[in-house]
Chains A and B, each alone.
Chain A
Amino acid sequence: MLKKLTGGRIYDPAHGVENEVRDIYILDGRIVKRPDGIRIDEEIDVRGKVVMAGAIDMHTHIGGGKVNIARTMLPEDHAADVIARTELMRSGCGHAAPSTLTAGYRYAEMGYTAGFEPAILPSNARQAHMEMHDTPIIDKGGYVMLGSDDFLLRMMAANKDQESINNYVAWTMTHSQAVGLKVVNPGGINAFKFNQRKLDLDEKNQFYGVTPREILLRLARAVNELGVPHPLHVHGCNLGVPGNMDTTLDTIQGIEGLPMHMTHIQFHSYGTEGDFKFSSGSAQIAEAINKHKNVTVDVGQILFGQTVTASGDSMRQFAAHPHSHPNKWVCMDIECEAGCGVVPFKYKDQSYVNALQWMIGLETFLMVDDPWQVFLTTDHPNGAPFTSYPHLIRLLMDKTFRNDILSTLHPEAQKASHLASLEREYSLYEIAIMTRAGAAKLVGLADRGHLGIGGAADITVYTDDADREKMFSTPDYVFKDGTMVVKDGNLIEVTWGTTHVVKPEYDISIEKSLKPYFDRYHTQKMGNFKISNDEIVDDGRGSLTVQPLHKGGPI
């Protein structure tokens, strides 16, 4: 069935197209050239409307153990936000940690067509994929988490060569069906198990004698040499600690030019100046990012209100638990791999620290020059639920709106920030880079995030509106793989997206040492740990898309 979107204003940064009026043809879920001799079955008039590829959230906690803990622990999050079943949609609930189905519906209603779960523990990967399998419409994928697992740390303590580590990384990514590699507080979660309550970049794990800097380098090199397109996804040391900007700058320096993505950078950009011993380090961080083209960041913007923080960083979550609101929290060790912490949190606009966090996030957005290097996230649900993205987009695109809100925040925090003096307003083209083209490139999705011939027909159509929040919260049309799923901001059809993975090559000999390790230390056998392709495809509702690797090899 051939569809034609007539006369839209195209924003396709992947092809350098900005505000160009052009028709788009969709055939069998793909964007095609105007085919000759085929009748157009459906023509959709989008004249004057803004047409972009479907948005991609490259860092959102939508599946896996910690989200389920958040759901279980916070009945109040559900009771206050209940969605009844309709003819089309199933019932659901939750504001900060919505149920899987609701998350999919809400993403689609905002014009998002893909979301990536950034912290999948290998032993929890099956659970995470099952939850994402239950998340409708959007495409999904996950970054598997290594760096605090005993197997890697043993290898490093034993001074194994880079190739063995590459093998282990590739094996883990393949069998946990991941699209990227994440490291959370490198080695810190493991050090926590040996009663270390903080771990700096060059501080040794008491037991293994390995430092976070070494872990980062080894893993970043592995990702690079394996040709995995998504650079090492780094949640750095000292999250949320005042003065952690030095660690962050050190991390950027220390990666030695290897590609690296630093996630929720806002939480890692704090100084210790001023009366409150808490200040913004965003200027130095942004300067470093502008200088290091191998580094990309997503912001992890906070927005005011109740949410829940869910992280694999049990060390920092444990430190944050006295601030839990409502007063309950969970921290746990998970197998020999890592841990997690779930702490509900309320960001308050009259709190000096929270207000400054809000400003630091926005400063980072506005001071990183190249939109291909910075991505729009709230680290859902840690900074705010993903449903606040349209609000965040308005903050970036509308200086007056931003400064109006700024003027209502904690007065001391206003004095500590120069956000009010930043004139920059993001353009639609830049937003399209951040949320589409850049994100697709970063995750390594060859066929998504652009509107070129052969690309998947994930398309969002907006009515241009000066109120960007309104514009981005209710798209006119959203197409997922060519099917119109949203019309006038309302869901009209429920489809099921694919799971994006990469399959880097590895030497099977790694299993010789992994099998006894699983037998001795894990709760599951190595054979059961592996997630087969069939499990993702399951009842035919899911599917796998293997994304191409870059050319790898030792540098």
Chain B
Amino acid sequence: MSTLIFTLKTSPVQRVDCSPLTPELLTDKSLADIAAIELVTGNSTARVDSLFDMSGDDTADIKFANSTDKLDFVGRNMTSGKISIAGNVGAYLGLFLEGGQIEVTGNTGIYTACEMKSGQIKVNGNVGDFLGGARPGYKNGMTGGTVIVTGNTGARTGDHMRRGTILIEGNAGDYCAARMISGTIAVLGDVGTHLGYGMKRGTVLLTQAPTKGIPANFNDNGPHTLAFLALLFKSFTKLDSQFAKTAAFSRVQRYTGDLGGIGMGEILIKI
């Protein structure tokens, strides 16, 4: 058994819906069957083998090579196995992800890990807006699992996020943790303006004070020593991330908000 590799022939002009190419949907399919799957692209469809060169046979271990940001919905509804992507990838990576692993070597588009339930996504690059968010008009974003981003994220990281962990080794954009219901977002770099806008509950953990400042609608609770942080850092040690190597700390300045709402969200900044 060797990795099933889809190598993109040329960058498609229209966006391609790659949601049929997940481990469980391809199980028990022969290479010929897979080649004949019709993918929606633009306002028409195209056979898989017209877009990709294919090799390998292990449907539990899928790789997209030569990938571009036109490939949308990769890993949608995936429950097990592994998808790795060499290059960039488009919108809605890991939509409704329920299990398994996705790893990207490049950047991802908007709505990465949208309404993700479980599993792990690692992006070795930058991520677009609405990481771990809810689809437009929906009320619950990511409800579990872990997302690791080595680069920066766009605006509204963790919008409507319900549970789970987002670890950002670079910077987070504006409106980070906006409308966040619960869960954890940790950032090693800087965060943009309007941090925690409309935040209900949940934790934003920062290793440095944001250069744009703490929003006015967060209340300074003073310095705290929080024992749970040691446990949190311990849970990071098994991850393939900068966070595993970050020295644990439990002494933080605590801010709560958004006071325009129920105000139970917290921003913790390392002292």
CB-nearest residue of chain B to A326: B139
Interface-located stretch among B120-128, B130-138, B145-153, B169-177: B130-138
Whether A328 contacts B139 by the Cβ 8 Å rule is yes
Query: Does A75 make an interface contact (CB < 8 A)?
Result: yes
- Separation in Å of the A482 CB from the closest CB of chain B? 35
- Separation in Å of the A329 CB from the closest CB of chain B? 12
Whether A75 contacts B135 by the Cβ 8 Å rule is yes
Contacts of A328 in B (CB 8 A): 139
Residues of A contacting B: mostly: helix
- Separation in Å of the B100 CB from the closest CB of chain A? 23
Contacts of B138 in A (CB 8 A): 75-76
- Docked Cα-Cα span, A73 to B139, in Å, equals 11
Contacts of A79 in B (CB 8 A): 135
Q: Which residue from A75, A326, A327 sits with its C-beta under 8 Å from B136?
A: A75
- Docked Cα-Cα span, A536 to B138, in Å, equals 36
- Docked Cα-Cα span, A79 to B95, in Å, equals 14
- Docked Cα-Cα span, A427 to B39, in Å, equals 50
CB-nearest residue of chain B to A327: B139
- Docked Cα-Cα span, A76 to B137, in Å, equals 8
- Docked Cα-Cα span, A74 to B139, in Å, equals 11
**Which of under 10, 10 to 19, 20 to 34, or 35 or more describes the interface residues of B?**
under 10
Contacts of B135 in A (CB 8 A): 75, 79
- Separation in Å of the A324 CB from the closest CB of chain B? 11
- Separation in Å of the A342 CB from the closest CB of chain B? 13
Whether A75 contacts B139 by the Cβ 8 Å rule is no
Contacts of A75 in B (CB 8 A): 135-138
CB-nearest residue of chain B to A78: B137
CB-nearest residue of chain A to B135: A75
- Docked Cα-Cα span, A332 to B135, in Å, equals 25
- Separation in Å of the B95 CB from the closest CB of chain A? 11
- Docked Cα-Cα span, A470 to B240, in Å, equals 57
- Docked Cα-Cα span, A74 to B135, in Å, equals 11
- Docked Cα-Cα span, A328 to B138, in Å, equals 10
Contacts of B139 in A (CB 8 A): 326-328
CB-nearest residue of chain B to A76: B138
Contacts of A73 in B (CB 8 A): 137
Encode contact with B along A68-103: 1 for CB under 8 Å, 0 otherwise.
Answer: 000011111001000000000000000000000000
Residues 99-143 of B contacting A (Cβ, < 8 Å): 135-139
CB-nearest residue of chain B to A75: B137
Encode contact with B along A315-331: 1 for CB under 8 Å, 0 otherwise.
Answer: 00000000000111000
CB-nearest residue of chain A to B43: A85
- Separation in Å of the B231 CB from the closest CB of chain A? 32
CB-nearest residue of chain B to A79: B135
Contacts of A74 in B (CB 8 A): 137
- Separation in Å of the A410 CB from the closest CB of chain B? 27
- Separation in Å of the A335 CB from the closest CB of chain B? 26
Contacts of A76 in B (CB 8 A): 137-138
- Docked Cα-Cα span, A521 to B238, in Å, equals 66
- Docked Cα-Cα span, A75 to B139, in Å, equals 11
- Docked Cα-Cα span, A246 to B135, in Å, equals 45
- Docked Cα-Cα span, A263 to B72, in Å, equals 48
The residue in B135, B136, B137, B139 that gathers the most chain A C-beta atoms within 10 A of its C-beta is B137
The residue in B135, B136, B138 that gathers the most chain A C-beta atoms within 10 A of its C-beta is B138
- Docked Cα-Cα span, A76 to B136, in Å, equals 10
Encode contact with B along A404-428: 1 for CB under 8 Å, 0 otherwise.
Answer: 0000000000000000000000000
- Separation in Å of the B143 CB from the closest CB of chain A? 14
- Docked Cα-Cα span, A79 to B136, in Å, equals 11
Encode contact with B along A38-75: 1 for CB under 8 Å, 0 otherwise.
Answer: 00000000000000000000000000000000001111
CB-nearest residue of chain A to B140: A326
- Docked Cα-Cα span, A391 to B137, in Å, equals 31
- Separation in Å of the B186 CB from the closest CB of chain A? 28
Contacts of B136 in A (CB 8 A): 75
Given contacts A76-B137, A76-B138, 11 further A-B contacts (CB under 8 A): A72-B137, A73-B137, A74-B137, A75-B135, A75-B136, A75-B137, A75-B138, A79-B135, A326-B139, A327-B139, A328-B139
Please give me the 8 A-B residue pairs with the lowest Cβ-Cβ distance, nearest first: A75-B137, A326-B139, A327-B139, A76-B138, A75-B136, A75-B138, A328-B139, A75-B135
